[in-house]
Amino acid sequence: MSARLRSPWALGGASVGLALLAALAGTLMALLGADLSCVGGGGGTLSPAPSSSALREIPPGRVAIYRAAGRRFDIDWPFLASIGTQECGSGNCPGVNPSGCAGPMEIAYVRGSACSPDPAAPTLWERFKVDADGGGADIFDPADAVFTAARIFRQDLGAPPAGGSYSGYREAACRYYGACADAAANYADEVMARAVRYGFRGGRAPASTAQQAGAQQGPSCEGSAVGGTSGRAIVRIAEGQLGTAESPPGSNCTRYGPCEKWCALFVAWVWERAGVPLRGGTSPYAYSGSIYTWTKAHGGRILPPSATPAPGDAALFGLGPGASEHVAIVERVFGGSIVTIDGNYADLVARVGPYPPSLAVVDGEPGPIYAYAQPPGVGTGGGSVSG
């Protein structure tokens, strides 16, 4: 859970399916004896209703799990949900990452690893693991992972009870990450801004954060305002999709949009869920050049191929926006090379690189990079990330 300790090369995986989440929600309902849509009893502070942003960005079964964990451990569920989105895009993140954290909430799992350096001491998972659904505690089970994270926050990291202060929750986010911010992310502020968007109502939130969240909530269920966007969030969501394939194979049918070539649909899907204010679903962005034209028309930045992009930017391949052949999400930039996460690469979501941008074709990309598109609100420009 600490970027200073955990390698950025966390293993990705496909997001858990809605059917599985619905089944988990049903199991939790039976165990807890409550309608998970109303978890938290009558106290609005204990269980605020999900905002439009939460309903748009989080699978409904996972919302139910966050709310159930919030009630079980007396913690604000929008904060838990924001941590889950920050760590894994509210997906599964299967496998153990190279730094020894694992699961949907990236909990320290391997003794003697960067996430849990003392080989003789039990890990956070060993100390606090929770069997939330009666199937045995499993760090890769979304319910077990979320319930365990809630327990860690309340019993080890000092998170306030539900309805507690913004500053108290922000400090708990700092402890979970191992720092409030670093070169990779302004972690605590990103978590808290998203928590407010999801419905967090803790006391004394900074006015600018509350105003930003208020501008993004409401009944319209439109895309998030650009203030909620971050390159890190884009990368996290993209990483959560690694390994997702067409179904059936060779059909071009995916969760990202219509059954057609889907590299740009994938980028639009990820950007939208990270808060980029695309409109009309992913279908209008099926042509890779549309990512370029939309970014240019909506206040984003177009960088030349000689520039250094930032994580979360779109790398565009081909001869230009009118002859665009492919688009991918920049995951990492270091030493003059980039790593991208590509939709529709050998019919699945795959990590490609590292490769020098000028030699993209050598790594299997269909053409040279002609531009990078940085969505509005992410930052003031591209910048390298030390590797």
Which residues, 6+ apart, have CB-to-CB distance to 339 below 8 Å?
330, 331, 332, 333, 351, 352, 353, 354, 355
Report the alpha-carbon distance of residue 344 to residue 298 in Å, rounded.
Answer: 26
| Positive/negative CA dihedral, 67, 53, 174, 137 | positive
Condensed to tens digits (0 to 9), the pLDDT of residues 164-191 reads 999 999 999 999 988 888 766 788 999 9
Q: Which CATH number fits domain 231-374: 3.20.20.60, 3.90.1720.10, 3.30.70.240, 3.40.30.10?
A: 3.90.1720.10
What pLDDT band is residue 111 in, cutting at 50, 70 and 90? very high
Condensed to tens digits (0 to 9), the pLDDT of residues 246-298 reads 988 889 898 898 899 999 999 999 998 888 888 888 889 899 999 999 999 98
Cβ neighbours, 10 Å, residue 47: 22
Cα 179 to Cα 166, 170, 204, 282: the distances in Å are 17, 11, 22, 35
**Phi and psi dihedrals of 149, rounded to 5?**
-60, -40
pTM beyond 0.75: the answer is no
Question: Which carries the bigger pLDDT value, residue 341 or residue 228?
Answer: 341
**Mean pLDDT (whole number) for 214-243:** 59
Q: Which regions of the chain carry the CATH code 3.90.1720.10?
A: 231-374
Condensed to tens digits (0 to 9), the pLDDT of residues 23-56 reads 444 444 443 333 333 333 333 344 688 999 899 8
User: Is pLDDT of 14 > 70?
Assistant: no
Largest Cα span, the chain = 60
Report the alpha-carbon distance of residue 383 to residue 220 in Å, rounded.
Answer: 35
What fold is seen in the domain 18-222?
Lysozyme (1.10.530)
User: Is pLDDT of 370 > 70?
Assistant: yes
Q: Which regions of the chain carry the CATH code 1.10.530?
A: 18-222
